[in-house]
Structure 1
Amino acid sequence: MATGRRKTSRTKEKETTFQERVIQIRRVSKVVKGGKKLSFRAIVAVGNERGQVGIGVGKAGDVIGAVKKGVADGKKHLIEVPLTKSNSIPHPIDGTGGGAKVMMRPAAPGTGVIAGGAV
């Protein structure tokens, strides 16, 4: 017999201030016995503008589902980026990944972001 208790969700979704930016959406295909199966892959950057950032990849049959999965994956893989009082990075950073080279330098106070679309 029921005890009269209601089931409540223990994982209440709290209000988050994360911003999402889609970096890339690509249509991918898989060859199966019946032909080609199309799906979409989305690479998404997630951050809260206070030093937490994550990159996520999602795949689904439609674009919206791939972006949602990418956002969820990005929130799982958050890293902490140290910021100064003027919301800049504390020291210069150089990095490479494949054919891409990224150079980030701290900005003077009041400068703002000087970057391309991907940064």
Structure 2
Amino acid sequence: MTSVRMDKWLWAARFFKTRALASRACDLGRIQSNGQLAKPSRDVRVGDMLQIKNEGGDFQIEVLLLSEMRGPAVVAQTLYRETESSQEARRKLAEERKVLQQFETLPEGRPSKRDRRLINRFRGRG
């Protein structure tokens, strides 16, 4: 096997839960292959540099192995290698989020009737 579809590889490497989500991310421009936007049908080859943006963060990875089958997470992690700069950026972002949680105040209990009306008006429902 010399190449695999982008959406299949992203699913097999466990960046997305389903192939449909991987395909949608490609369509939305959240996946770049060697500096170019990648379509779901684009071929992934060993040595390609991918930039992936998903809810887990921004990943910059190098493809090491190809697979069309989704396996255990331990096997999926052997398919790619994340760059040091990408790991550091994600670690820094996680620390910033953790610090911000300390200062975030959550409302106590349910919103009042007045608060609910304000929320609905803000969302454009009333």
Question: What TM-score does the superposition give when structure 1 sets the normalisation length?
Answer: 0.22
More helix by share: 2
Question: What TM-score does the superposition give when structure 2 sets the normalisation length?
Answer: 0.22
